Structure 1
Amino acid sequence: MKIVVDWDRCEANAVCMRAAPEVFRVDDNDNLHVLVEDVPPELLAKVENAVRRCPKQALARRELTNTDS
């Protein structure tokens, strides 16, 4: 699974970071950073929770295909 961020919607309010700190970080300048591009199975539940809780619906998940690298 990959994480997709709609940067036009993202307000970097850190809800995702609280839900999955291993995957998301908001820096001191209020910029969101995705720390793990390809989400491992052990973090899947946390990322799905972060996607659901995003108040601006700026996060989505995309399943990896054989053409993704």
Structure 2
Amino acid sequence: MKISVDRRRCEGYGICAETAPQLMHLDDEGELVLDVEELRPEHAPDASSAARVCPVAALSIRDDS
């Protein structure tokens, strides 16, 4: 599984980073940084939660298996 961010949609609210701080954070300019792009199975619930709470639907998760 992979997580990605649509930079054109992301407005830097940071709700996703608060929801899954082990997977992502906001940098000093308020840009979202994905610390993990290749998701391990144990990351899937937190990644899904982060994508779900994004108010602009900028995060997507895909299963490449």
TM band (smaller chain):
over 0.9
Partner of 1:39: 39
SS, match of residue 64 in structure 1: coil
- The alignment's C-alpha RMSD in Å is 0.9
Larger radius of gyration: 1
Runs of 4+ in 1 over 4 A off after TM superposition: none
Q: 2:16 maps to which residue? A: 16
The size of the alignment, in residue pairs, is 65
What do residues 19-57 of structure 1 show as CA deviations (whole Å, max 9, x unaligned)?
100111101211110000101111110110001110000
Provide the secondary structure at the position in 2 that maps to 1:50. Answer: helix
1:6-25 superposed Cα distances (whole Å, 9 cap, x missing partner): 11000111111011001111
TM-score scaled by structure 1? Answer: 0.88
Query: 2:56 is matched with which residue?
Result: 56
Equivalent-residue separation in structure 2 for 1:4 and 1:35 (angstroms) = 11
